[in-house]
Chains A and B, each alone.
Chain A
Amino acid sequence: MGHGSMHQSASAARTDQPLLSLRNINMTFGGVKALKNVTFEVRPGEVHCLAGENGSGKSTLIKVITGVYRPAEGAIIEYDGDVYPHMSPVTAQERGIQVIWQDLALFPEMSVAENIAFHEVLGRPRLVDYSRMRQIAIEALSRLGITLDVDLPLKEYAIAQRQIVAIARALVGEAKVVFMDEPTASLTQSETDYLLEIVRGLSASGVAVVFVSHRLAEVLEISSRITVLRDGALVGVYPADGMTQSKITELMTGKTFDQHVRARAKDDQPVVLDVRGLGSPGQFEDVSLTVRRGETVGITGLLGAGRTELALALFGMLKPTSGTFSIDGREARFASNRDAIKAGVAYLSEDRLSLGLIQPQSIADNLVIASLHKILSGGLLADDRKRSLVARWIADLGVKIGHQADAISTLSGGNQQRVAIAKWLATDPKLLILDSPTVGVDVGARAGIFDIVAKLAESGLAIILISDEVPEVYFNADRVLHMAQGRIVGIYDPHQTRLEEIEAAVYA
């Protein structure tokens, strides 16, 4: 690779002989080249990041390494002294290659012990040895310094603990290299810190970790080297020292993004949303804020700070017990979100996959679902009206689609999010609440989403932008509110405050 000499400080004692080395990896799906002559290597005990946008070939590469896919003729997979033309899942696991899939592939109804020691029920039919499974599970967890009740069904535990269970399972089979696909996607900051600590521990004990993450900050924090893929081809392998988030973004997307503070004072505009002392026990307390016409108010804070709950209250899905809020001067008392929509509030859910869009349905059907009354003709849905409404929004927001009738699941994360935004814009809202609009959206497509947000604000829409990534609200909102433990604890003007100050306050 030629970069070996640049990075030795952390692992001087280790050999630079790769544990895993892939050359000549080509993979084609139905005429589309998913991997083009890719090279990849992992050294023993290193934390290696695999970076790339969605569709860049990261997952495909992992599946080649773990034997799920068979690469085209000519591939060379060298692992721990042996050479393979392709892997098989069984060989990969036997040789100590473990994967923690993004969806974890766990069994929620089964006990923690069974989930961790699942290999004990594989193979030839025999009686189950529960005490052995418990013992294996307890040992694996104690290697991670964790105690869980291994007899409880896994579903009793939150996602962070399930992540731990998945890691414990990977460690059972004497893992030499563990692939982690977006392990932190659904963790809070403190849980993420904890996970990164575990990753460091693994690395110190000689287990190599290949880390795939959208969150570039943690990638830089944890990894020693970064392999960047773009469009199925290798861009390069870089030491993490001296890398910056914007450099990785450039390498991943092949484009440069200049981020600047967009904030503009909107004090002369009429108030659209006026919240006074709003509270809901255990969720948020004494929240007061205003959003003016054309203003974008950012709300940041850790997961669980009450941001989403506040948004749900404004959207009529959660009844506040104290305080009031008004829309355009009229006090809002929403019995349900239908009332909220009627009053001009739109809420883009943080969980696009399961709540925001109906995945198997078409792009067009998803887009019109919240504004069906507009495409009625004589009480029935009119196809031509639907088509023209959809066409208008698709063009307005620059969504790249094949046909309106294609399933929404065929679109990339960024384009899906645009459709989700269009769905709400079609309801003619006065106030648009965007809850974590860039989750699962590629860095490249994120800028496009924020361009849309800016354009919408320009047209007079009042916007609340919720994100746990401070830079997103810092660069894209006119004001930044910091929420912690259900309260607004800080209000910042991006022109007056440095990003680092806000970050320090939020992540403290």
Chain B
Amino acid sequence: MHSLIRTHATEFSLLGVIVVISAVLSFATANFLSLGNAFDLLNISSVNIIFAVGLLVVLIAGGIDISFAVAASVVQYGTAIALGWIGGGGWLSGFVIAASLGVLLGCVNALLIHRFRIISIVATIATFNIYFGLLMFFTRGVSIYDLPDWLTDRVILFEREMPDGTWIEITLPVLVMIICVVATWTLITRTTIGRQLFAFGDNPEGARRFGINIGAMQFIAFGWLGLMAGIGGLVQAHYAQEVVPNALYGRELDVLAAVVLGGARLGGGKGTVLGCVLGVLLISITQNGLNLMGVSPFAFKMIIGAIILIAITLSNTRLERLLPFAGWKGTRR
């Protein structure tokens, strides 16, 4: 148990912060602490969690991606158009198209990074601009509202009225999110490829000496994020019941903050799916609570920024790392 707390310190402190914030919110507002609201939160957070677990894989492999959110927008448009061509399609064809487009866009990043040796932040800032520019240019900023009915109809998998009068419902986005979370967890903790990703992110030179295929690592990491971006994009279109070209613009930084909050390290080799999910939830809960408290939306960003700083300071650092000259403490025995 002791070593579990030691190795999962980030998750435990995040959980602690979530409990504290929830307690405060349940006193401050009447509606926060209800099952209905909890499931609402899950429904709202699903898309971000899907993005987050994708980004987690890239961060673990030592990269970073700024482009995935606008890539998801590109996927939404591409999928909507392709579904039009094939005469409507259905969930299966929708997911296949969205996933393939997403993987393709992810692989563009991997190609730039691996083949042309561009560092990932620069490569993905470039593709972020290219994807978004192309999207705005070709759509002239026009949204799509006439999506197929199957895509815009809410799919409720489970619903029930609670004794307190609220409804709990599990919708399709939650199911997709759970599948993505489990798949990512399996990939990074249960498969040899996942462990190679960790090793590559932790010590690229060490991984190279073991003969790990560095190119494959980049393509798997960015391809996986592309896959998640594609799936997340389709789910977001379903949830919003429309495709708006700049709907996801700016989402990348929210998700990145949540993932880092969840203990993933910029620089690679570290991060867990659980931490990642908790990171997204912490931000959603805060946002939701502020909403219920009637706080001005203009204050949201500021408060969330502060919470990210506090949570990261608490969770990501041991005390000595907060002090200057932390480096030499570590090198000493």
Report if A151 contacts B (CB, 8 A): yes
Residues 258-272 (chain B) with a chain A CB within 8 angstroms: 265, 269-270
Q: Is the CB of B202 within 8 A of A122?
A: no
**Which partner residue on chain A sits nearest B209 by CB separation?**
A105
**Which partner residue on chain A sits nearest B330 by CB separation?**
A155
When A125-B193, A159-B333 are in contact, do A110 and B202 touch as well, CB less than 8 Å?
yes
The answer for the CA separation of A118 and B205 in the assembled complex, in Å, is 15
Q: Is the CB of A122 within 8 A of B196?
A: yes
When A109-B269, A149-B3, A354-B327 are in contact, do A128 and B205 touch as well, CB less than 8 Å?
no
Residues 287-335 (chain A) with a chain B CB within 8 angstroms: 303-304, 308, 317
Q: Is the CB of A118 within 8 A of B192?
A: no
Residues 170-198 (chain B) with a chain A CB within 8 angstroms: 189-196, 198
What chain B residues lie within 8 Å of A105 (beta carbons)? Answer: 203, 205-206, 209-210
What chain B residues lie within 8 Å of A120 (beta carbons)? Answer: 192
Q: Is the CB of A127 within 8 A of B190?
A: yes
Report if A351 contacts B (CB, 8 A): yes
The answer for the CA separation of A317 and B196 in the assembled complex, in Å, is 40
In the complex, given contacts A122-B192, A355-B328, what are 16 additional A-B residue pairs having Cβ atoms less than 8 angstroms apart? Answer: A101-B209, A105-B210, A107-B198, A107-B202, A107-B269, A114-B195, A121-B195, A127-B190, A128-B189, A152-B6, A153-B7, A156-B6, A188-B333, A308-B332, A354-B327, A355-B327
When A89-B211, A106-B203, A106-B206 are in contact, do A354 and B331 touch as well, CB less than 8 Å?
yes
**Contact pick for B196, options A121, A160, A308, A355, CB 8 Å:** A121
Q: Is the CB of A128 within 8 A of B191?
A: yes
Size of the chain B interface, CB-CB below 8 angstroms = 31
Q: Is the CB of B325 within 8 A of A126?
A: no
**Contact pick for A121, options B6, B199, B328, CB 8 Å:** B199
Contact with B along A89-112 (1 / 0, CB 8 A): 110000000000101111111100
27 A-B pairs (CB sep. < 8 Å)? A68-B209, A106-B203, A107-B198, A107-B203, A109-B202, A110-B195, A119-B210, A120-B192, A121-B192, A125-B192, A126-B191, A126-B192, A127-B190, A127-B191, A127-B192, A128-B189, A128-B192, A152-B3, A152-B6, A158-B333, A159-B333, A188-B333, A308-B332, A317-B325, A351-B328, A354-B331, A355-B328
What chain A residues lie within 8 Å of B205 (beta carbons)? Answer: 103, 105
**Which partner residue on chain A sits nearest B193 by CB separation?**
A125
What chain B residues lie within 8 Å of A159 (beta carbons)? Answer: 333
Contact with B along A150-166 (1 / 0, CB 8 A): 01110010111000000
The answer for the CA separation of A149 and B4 in the assembled complex, in Å, is 12
Contact with A along B315-333 (1 / 0, CB 8 A): 0000000000101100111
Report if B212 contacts A (CB, 8 A): yes
The answer for the CA separation of A120 and B195 in the assembled complex, in Å, is 10
Q: Is the CB of A304 within 8 A of B331?
A: no
Q: Which 9 A-B pairs have the closest CB atoms?
A: A105-B206, A121-B195, A121-B192, A109-B269, A107-B202, A109-B202, A109-B270, A158-B333, A107-B199
The answer for the CA separation of A89 and B210 in the assembled complex, in Å, is 8
Report if A123 contacts B (CB, 8 A): yes
Size of the chain A interface, CB-CB below 8 angstroms = 39
What chain A residues lie within 8 Å of B333 (beta carbons)? Answer: 158-160, 188, 303-304
What chain A residues lie within 8 Å of B195 (beta carbons)? Answer: 110, 114, 121, 128
B70 to chain A, nearest CB (A): 31
**Which partner residue on chain A sits nearest B195 by CB separation?**
A121
A324 to chain B, nearest CB (A): 23
What chain B residues lie within 8 Å of A151 (beta carbons)? Answer: 3, 7
Residue of A101, A103, A105 contacting most chain B CB atoms (<10 Å)? A105
B211 to chain A, nearest CB (A): 6
The answer for the CA separation of A454 and B121 in the assembled complex, in Å, is 50
**Contact pick for A89, options B189, B196, B209, B325, CB 8 Å:** B209
What chain A residues lie within 8 Å of B210 (beta carbons)? Answer: 105, 118-119, 122
**Contact pick for A123, options B7, B190, B192, CB 8 Å:** B192
Query: Interface majority SS on B: helix, strand, loop or mixed?
Result: helix
Q: Is the CB of A125 within 8 A of B269?
A: no
**Contact pick for A351, options B189, B325, B331, CB 8 Å:** B331
**Which partner residue on chain B sits nearest A191 by CB separation?**
B333
**Which partner residue on chain A sits nearest B212 by CB separation?**
A122
B268 to chain A, nearest CB (A): 9
Contact with B along A126-159 (1 / 0, CB 8 A): 1110000000000000000000010111001011
The answer for the CA separation of A126 and B194 in the assembled complex, in Å, is 10
Q: Is the CB of B198 within 8 A of A110?
A: yes
Residues 429-459 (chain A) with a chain B CB within 8 angstroms: none
When A126-B191, A128-B192 are in contact, do A152 and B209 touch as well, CB less than 8 Å?
no
Residues 349-364 (chain A) with a chain B CB within 8 angstroms: 351, 354-355
Residues 179-218 (chain A) with a chain B CB within 8 angstroms: 188
What chain A residues lie within 8 Å of B6 (beta carbons)? Answer: 152, 156
B33 to chain A, nearest CB (A): 36
A306 to chain B, nearest CB (A): 11
A133 to chain B, nearest CB (A): 9
A424 to chain B, nearest CB (A): 18
The answer for the CA separation of A317 and B194 in the assembled complex, in Å, is 42
The answer for the CA separation of A308 and B269 in the assembled complex, in Å, is 32
Residues 1-26 (chain B) with a chain A CB within 8 angstroms: 3, 6-7
The answer for the CA separation of A121 and B199 in the assembled complex, in Å, is 10
A326 to chain B, nearest CB (A): 25
What chain B residues lie within 8 Å of A160 (beta carbons)? Answer: 333
Contact with A along B42-81 (1 / 0, CB 8 A): 0000000000000000000000000000000000000000
Residues 202-245 (chain B) with a chain A CB within 8 angstroms: 202-203, 205-207, 209-212
The answer for the CA separation of A114 and B203 in the assembled complex, in Å, is 14
Contact with B along A347-386 (1 / 0, CB 8 A): 0000100110000000000000000000000000000000
The answer for the CA separation of A34 and B205 in the assembled complex, in Å, is 22
B9 to chain A, nearest CB (A): 11
**Which partner residue on chain B sits nearest A317 by CB separation?**
B325
What chain B residues lie within 8 Å of A107 (beta carbons)? Answer: 198-199, 202-203, 206-207, 269
**Which partner residue on chain A sits nearest B192 by CB separation?**
A121
What chain A residues lie within 8 Å of B202 (beta carbons)? Answer: 107-110
What chain A residues lie within 8 Å of B3 (beta carbons)? Answer: 149, 151-152
What chain B residues lie within 8 Å of A125 (beta carbons)? Answer: 191-193
What chain B residues lie within 8 Å of A156 (beta carbons)? Answer: 6
A59 to chain B, nearest CB (A): 13
**Which partner residue on chain A sits nearest B200 by CB separation?**
A107
**Which partner residue on chain B sits nearest A125 by CB separation?**
B193
The answer for the CA separation of A123 and B270 in the assembled complex, in Å, is 22
A179 to chain B, nearest CB (A): 13
What chain B residues lie within 8 Å of A308 (beta carbons)? Answer: 332
When A122-B210, A351-B331 are in contact, do A108 and B196 touch as well, CB less than 8 Å?
no
Q: Is the CB of A90 within 8 A of B327?
A: no
Residue of A122, A158, A188 contacting most chain B CB atoms (<10 Å)? A122
The answer for the CA separation of A159 and B328 in the assembled complex, in Å, is 14
What chain B residues lie within 8 Å of A89 (beta carbons)? Answer: 209, 211
